[in-house]
Every structure is written in C-alpha cells, then in structure tokens.
Amino acid sequence: MKNGKIVLLMVLLLSVIMAGAAWAQETPPPAPGPGYVWIAPYNLPSGVSVPGYWRPGARDGYNWVDGTLDGQGGYIPGHWDPITSAPSGMIWVPGYWYDGAYYDGHWRVSYRDGFVWVPSHWNSAGEWVYGYWQPTGAPPSGMVWVPGHWHRDGFWVEGHWRYVNSADPSLYWVPGHYNRDGWWVEGHWRSR
C-alpha cells in the first residue's frame, strides 16, 4: 500500500511539473506565410531572454545553422550561411533576427592589422550589439574607442577614437546599440 501511494504521489508531481512547463511555453503568433519554421524563445547563459521568431523553412543559396554556444560562454544565434565559398581573404559574418526581422549576414575581411573582431552578441542588458573591429593596442591618453556602426540615417560610421569626458570622471562611454524595443540608441555618456 505504501509503495502505491509513493507511485501515485510521483505521478501527480510529474503531472504538475509537466503542466507548468507547458503553460510556460510561448504560444507562437500566426506564421507570416506558408513554409515558415517557429524558433522558440530561449534564455542565454547570461540570463537574457531572447524572444521567439518565425524564419523561412528554406532559402536559395543558404543553409540554416541552428543557434549554439560558442565554447566561451557566448551564444551564436541561428542564422543562414551561404553555400558558396568565401571570397579570398574574407569571412562570413552571420545575420541575426531582431524584433521579428532578419538582418542579413555579410562578408568581412578576415584580418585587419592592429584590430580584433568582436562578434555580434546580446549584452547583459538584453540589447543587441553589432560585430565590430576593436583596436588591440592601448588607447591614446584620454580617449575611448567608438566601434563602427550604421547611423540611423542609413550610412556607415567608421570606428574612431573619441575624447573621454575628462571634465567629469564619473561618466563612461556607452557605444551605440539597438535597445529592446528595436530603436537605435546613439553612443552616449552615462553616470557610473
């Protein structure tokens, strides 16, 4: 009799856990068209929640690569990789999904003297940061690096050094980024 009660208790407990897990799943919105595949929302190792999205089931000239951990604690979102070989001296930078839209990947040079490539990523505040070239040397005195980025008016702003606000050392520079609502936030000074 005692074993029967234990089994019954375990079955009830498992039912409650499974019901809770099913309730926690996000119900996807209607597909934007036929042939789309739902990518469920997920949490990054940093704790940032990434919303789910629809992606086309197939794309001519590309293969879909599922999202994965990069081995250094970062997450590489699912993306399309071209089937064609890389042009000489170039590397594919994966595209990404953000706020329901896909931003296509592109080819970039594989090496830039005096710089290291910082891949696109979600920061700890849940904001998407584009990949960019970061100088490897010590910064010039009193300066901070502003990564290259697309301006909200559609033109590319090359990465550059900017003077630190030496009048107020309690401030630090925040690079431009897209916020959780999909709006571009220009680089700005923020209080520590």
Extract long-range pairs of 139-143: CB within 8 Å, 24+ residues apart. Answer: 142/166
SS3 6: helix
Q: What is the pTM of this model?
A: 0.61
| β-pair partners for 133 | 117
Per-residue pLDDT of the chain (192 residues; tens, 9 = 90+): 554 444 343 434 444 334 334 334 568 889 989 999 998 888 877 787 878 888 889 999 999 998 887 776 677 788 899 999 999 999 998 887 766 677 888 898 999 999 999 888 777 777 777 888 999 988 888 888 888 877 767 777 888 888 876 567 677 777 777 776 667 777 777 777
Region label for 56, one of left (φ > 0), alpha (ψ between -120 and 50) or beta (otherwise): beta
- What are the extents of the domains in the chain? 27-191
Task: Give pLDDT, residue 99.
Answer: 66
**Cβ contact 38:31 at 8 Å:** yes
